[in-house]
Amino acid sequence: MLPKRFILTLIKGMKPPELFGVFVRLTGLLIVLYGLYELWAGLDNVVENLIDAAQGNNSDLPSSFGFFAFSIPSLIVGCVVFFFADLIARLAYRNTPNV
């Protein structure tokens, strides 16, 4: 764990656009992690449905569409936000010199 003093020194030395870029990247990373979580849950549901179908269970099986409907767009949006954080920070702070 990083000491509190070290973290505060890092944050103090950053300009507002740089700090905003860090928060944008963190947001993108969290969105990607959510997308991976949903993708994993969807794949788990597909495998469970395949196992149930192979064992002869003819009952109504839950759909995996909802998992993939949220996971794939969130992966795409999270990657775009993460990799274009500099552009987003420049757009947010466009009147600030030397950004």
Q: Residue 48 corresponds to which tokens in the numbers above?
A: 């469970």
| Alpha carbon distance 31, 33 (integer Å) | 5
Backbone angles phi, psi at 53, to 5 degrees: -70, -35
What's the pLDDT at 1? 59
What's the pLDDT at 7? 67
Summarize pLDDT for 32-89 with one digit per residue, the tens: 999 999 999 999 999 988 888 888 877 777 788 889 999 999 999 999 999 999 999 9
Q: For the chain, what is the domain count?
A: 1
- Asked whether residue 15 is domain-assigned, the answer is no
Write down the pTM of the prediction: 0.80
- Asked whether residue 94 is domain-assigned, the answer is yes
- Asked whether residue 14 is domain-assigned, the answer is no
- Asked whether residue 43 is domain-assigned, the answer is yes
Structure-model confidence comparison of residues 4 and 45, the more confident one = 45
Structure-model confidence comparison of residues 22 and 53, the more confident one = 22
